Structure 1
């Protein structure tokens, strides 16, 4: 029997930071819904972390505050680092089981739920905005992976916004910028477009016994990316694999960085400076996250 989000949340131990976050979120002021008068929602790139993000009260508070600084979207479209594919695909638009694509963490995280409303209308619109000749496959047996539901549980814990996930079909920045551009009209319809990754993601090179230690490769890559984003230098960002300091350690595989190009592509002007929202580090990895107009 499938449990509801609220029923699963009720099983979180009261002493766990997630339980505290859920209590604070429930007591927050009502979240005003987006209307056409608000104009286009921004597109965002967020660093999502592993499920223990939901044990970090400070990080959850940052994400929830970010969500509440924006009107509550009609729907959310997420491109996550954790779903790569050769062709463009979407998750089942009807609520499905979550993808618990992780291991070695507290079993609590595999008991959490995020049962969102039907997103069939968004699936239809994603197909409609794609360029001629681009087919969008529907992977009917796939639900949201942790690159989508973990940060969204902090941002929108009520699970009351339809969510659809779009696969990451390439690592080529130019192709991802074009994909983001195709999604741009959805922002005018109250859809929050999210690229979900991690600004640095060198897990094999982290000293897990020293979570306070920020490796040089992480801080140097983060500073390079932050400077390029601040001046809107898309060309520099697109050359990251060959020119970014520490890239071989910061991104031994690139799927946590490349969703950034979908976000930039979905902006009104990809070459405009971004608005930084979250920075700092988590276990040595950069949490840099931003939004674009």
Structure 2
């Protein structure tokens, strides 16, 4: 079996699906990857300790975890199969590393999971499991990714879903979505691209102190944190930038490792 890559992608709010380039970029990216047996998603929008897994019985529900958007965004569906075997394997791997895992049979896929999946795998025919982030600590998430790396040899695609820069004070839908980004966003994006191209794990784990204006690019780190898990699961594989550019000042840059 071909080893699957691991991904970090910038998922955006639901209206990013209306962007003139982003949906096609994600579709093209997915078509270039080996078809996964199952998908494990870690989204910026689910923090829960201990590690918690989404439902594994019945249809995969969605969680419309956003407010104030037009009704059509609340009518999106994504009826992917459940992934009970993947859930058991995740639980086993983490238990062997001393991690406790619980299930939340009521929580559906949030928009950090289903918005990109609709574009990447629109047929919704691949089993999907979402996993919470138990912390935002970079080293802990990196180690968690390393513990899950064996899934890549079993056909599972590990997807970290966040945003390369995420300061919503820059977001102004009355302006052009493709307008030049704030300098801080552009500088953070360039730093991240260079650090990942060099495989500089030490710098990335210390993003808060080494990246330019990190606390402005990410006033809170939850949208950058999924990168650490993807980086740990990468198991040393090189990063390739698959999507770039900006959307209302936010960097859409996304990578895969081993793709």
TM-score bracket, shorter-length normalisation:
over 0.9
Tell me by how many angstroms 1:164 deviates.
Answer: 0.2
Greater Rg over alpha carbons, structure: 1
Residue aligning to 1:86: 49
The DSSP-based 3-state class of the residue aligned with 1:153 is: helix
The DSSP-based 3-state class of the residue aligned with 2:9 is: strand
- Match among 226, 229, 241 for residue 262 of structure 1: 229
1:135 correspondence with 2:100: yes
| In structure 2, distance between residues paired with 1:263 and 1:96 | 23
On the 8 A contact 1:207/1:213 being kept in 2, the answer is no
TM normalised by structure 2 equals: 0.95
Unaligned runs of 5+ in 1: 1-35
Q: Pairwise mapping of residues 95-174 of structure 1 onto structure 2 (< 5 A)?
A: 95-130=59-94, 131-174=96-139
Runs of 4+ in 1 over 3 A off after TM superposition: 205-209
- Match among 195, 201, 205 for residue 228 of structure 1: 195
The DSSP-based 3-state class of the residue aligned with 1:144 is: coil
On the 8 A contact 2:171/2:249 being kept in 1, the answer is yes
Residue aligning to 2:205: 238
Tell me by how many angstroms 1:82 deviates.
Answer: 0.2
The DSSP-based 3-state class of the residue aligned with 1:266 is: helix
| In structure 1, distance between residues paired with 2:198 and 2:150 | 25
Q: Pairwise mapping of residues 1-293 of structure 1 onto structure 2 (< 5 A)?
A: 36=1, 39-94=2-57, 95-130=59-94, 131-210=96-175, 211=177, 212-269=179-236, 273-293=238-258
Tell me by how many angstroms 1:56 deviates.
Answer: 1.7
**In angstroms, what is the RMSD of aligned CA positions?**
1.2
Tell me by how many angstroms 1:207 deviates.
Answer: 4.2
On the 8 A contact 2:36/2:156 being kept in 1, the answer is yes
| In structure 2, distance between residues paired with 1:213 and 1:160 | 38
Tell me by how many angstroms 1:246 deviates.
Answer: 2.0
On the 8 A contact 2:170/2:250 being kept in 1, the answer is no
Residue aligning to 1:23: none
Tell me by how many angstroms 1:228 deviates.
Answer: 0.6
On the 8 A contact 2:55/2:82 being kept in 1, the answer is no
Relative CO higher for 1 or 2, CA cutoff 8 Å, sep ≥ 6?
2
Tell me by how many angstroms 1:71 deviates.
Answer: 2.1
The DSSP-based 3-state class of the residue aligned with 1:196 is: strand
| In structure 1, distance between residues paired with 2:201 and 2:163 | 18
TM normalised by structure 1 equals: 0.84
Unaligned runs of 5+ in 2: none
Tell me by how many angstroms 1:172 deviates.
Answer: 1.2
